[in-house]
Amino acid sequence: MDDAIRACADLVRRGDPERLRAAMAAPVPARRKLFPIYAFNVEVARAPWVTQESMIAEMRLQWWRDALLEIAEGRDVRRHEVATPLSGVLDRASAVQLDELVLARRWDIYREPFEDEAAFRSHLDHTAGHLLRASVRALGVEPDEAVTDAGFALGLANWFRAVPALEAAGRMPLVDGRESAVRSLAEEGLNRLGRARRAGVPAAARPAMLMLWQAGGILGRAARRPALVKAGEIEPAPLRDRLTLTARALSGRW
């Protein structure tokens, strides 16, 4: 891989080691497409948290919106360790969708709860869903309903993992935090993950889908014991986690 892609990979290594592991389990040509997208996600996800000043956080996110607009419009893209290689893997549709991802990250700046269940679901779709769509499209496959279902499952699993940290930071991550509501959400996530797996995706898209290797286990634990979500005890066992990713990479399943 060239220096620009290595720089993106190093950023992912430092900011999102699980996506690094998933990308490293993919073939090298796929890594070249995925690392700039994953690095972009690291940069945008952390932007609201690196400052206490909401205006500065807004400016950081706006910088990325401007870069994505340059990509979407086919203009010269600003030179940057992530924005430059990102421009080489996104088409206009993905740039527009990732702009919606950036907008969704504004929720992290402030302390207001989601207005309702629809707003919560939209947030998952515009973050995890759009990131997965962009990854699949970068690999040459047009995302379909299976990718949408998988994106929901992935986003929900990762959201459950983040609940304790978000609550500690003064956010209200769940519209309904009752155990019955958490169980219902987890079961929906499992159902949609199962539907996505039954539908399948083209072989070219499978490297992007490796990020789902933990989702089923996390959602299963949340469905069986929803109290684990708020307790921060939803994480997979390390050894089993490593073995699962290896098996998925070798089998082509996700």
Contact present, 80 and 67 (Cβ < 8 Å): yes
Task: Identify the pLDDT of residue 240.
Answer: 87
Read off the DSSP letter of residue 107. G
Residue with tokens 């994953």: 38
Cα dihedral 189→190→191→195 (10° resolution): 100
According to the model, what pLDDT value does residue 141 have? 98
The reported pLDDT for the residue numbered 1 is 59
Token pair, residue 168, equals 């500690």
| Nearest partner of 43 among 90, 10, 1, judged by Cα | 10
For residue 5 the two structure tokens come to 């892609």
The closest of 176, 126, 173 to 151, measured between CA atoms, is: 126
Q: What is the pTM of this model?
A: 0.96
pLDDT average per 10 residues of sequence, the chain (254 residues) = 92 97 96 98 97 96 98 95 97 98 97 96 98 98 98 98 96 97 98 98 97 97 98 92 91 89
* pLDDT single digits (tens) 216-225: 999 999 999 9
Q: What percent of the chain lies above the pLDDT cut of 90?
A: 94
pLDDT in tens, 94-130: 999 999 999 999 999 999 999 999 999 999 999 999 9
